[in-house]
Amino acid sequence: MPTSTVENYLKAILVRSADAGAVVSTGSIAEALGVTPGTITTMVKSLAAQGLVEHQPREGVRLTPAGRAHALGVLRKHRLIETFLVQVLKMDWKEVHEEAEALEHAISDRVLLRIDAILGHPVSDPHGDPIPSPKRPLFDRGKGVTLATCEPQRPFRVQRILDQSGPFLEFIQRTGLKPGARVRVRERDRASGVVRCELGDAEAALGLPEAAKIEVGAA
């Protein structure tokens, strides 16, 4: 059974592969895991020896089907745990990511089954990220309509928050731009880089890069 370090590598590679067969640079993995480039090279060779990735030196890394399957399992655990922490344990939205980071390597499949059942087999976590499952392989590549690109004046519904960092989640919480909220872009000014939008009777302003982190769908 893979160690928790191996699981973290696989997960990092998975979330960085746009599509199923995409190649990921070792450098981007190094940055994601906060580890020196040399460490990645070493580790990637070991992952390749275990048949979890394929490695083209100086090219990049690609998950094998086995590696992808394992990574999806870890991602599923992570997102189910986040959902559980918020819905059952009533924990704060912005705390659960780091908690799940530790728990995803300690929770057995047996416990996970119970959690999934108690939550009623949810299909997305509190940030709106999809929860992969054997039958729902991770559609992910959505059309990607965000507050930076959606049609102005039309009402939408927040679907997903694409940035898990503390300060950003704090902002989301403060403004109420959480998944499920109804929102309407009132004005988008390319020159100043500001998006002003309306939630119920409140208003919020955010920069274009930040707006691009909020995915929306039909209201």
Partner DNA sequence: ATTTTGTCTTTGACGAGTCAAAGACGGTAT
Partner DNA sequence: ATACCGTCTTTGACTCGTCAAAGACAAAAT
Q: Which residues bind its own copies (CB under 8 A)?
A: 85, 88-91, 95, 99, 102-103, 105-108, 110-111, 114-115, 118
> Which residues in the 141-170 window bind DNA by CB under 7 A?
none
| Distance in Å, CB of 38 to DNA, minimum | 2
| Distance in Å, CB of 145 to DNA, minimum | 31
Question: Per DSSP, which regions of the chain are E strands?
Answer: 53-56, 60-63, 155-161, 182-189, 194-199, 202-207, 214-218
Q: Give the span between the Cα atoms of 38 and 57, in whole angstroms.
A: 13
Phi, psi at 106, each rounded to 5°: -110, -20
> Which residues in the 59-98 window bind DNA by CB under 7 A?
60
| Distance in Å, CB of 138 to its own copies, minimum | 25
Taking Cα atoms as reference points, which of 163, 149, 162 lies closest to residue 197? 149
| 67/73 with CB nearer its own copies | 73
CA dihedral 56, 58, 61, 64 (to 10 degrees): 0
Q: Is 192 in the site for DNA (CB under 7 A)?
A: no
Instruction: Determine which residue in the list 21, 46, 98, 209 makes contact with DNA, applying CB under 7 A.
Output: 46
| Distance in Å, CB of 92 to its own copies, minimum | 9
Q: Token match 């980071």: residue? A: 101
Q: Which residues pair with 56 in a beta bridge?
A: 60
Q: Give the span between the Cα atoms of 20 and 22, in whole angstroms.
A: 6
Q: Is 26 in the site for DNA (CB under 7 A)?
A: yes
Contacts of 180 (CB under 8 A, 6+ apart): 157, 158
| 94/160 with CB nearer its own copies | 94
1 interface partner picked from its own copies, DNA, none, CB below 5 to 8 A per type: none
| 25/87 with CB nearer DNA | 25
Q: Which residues here bind DNA, judged by CB under 7 A?
A: 3, 5-6, 25-27, 30, 33-46, 55, 57-58, 60
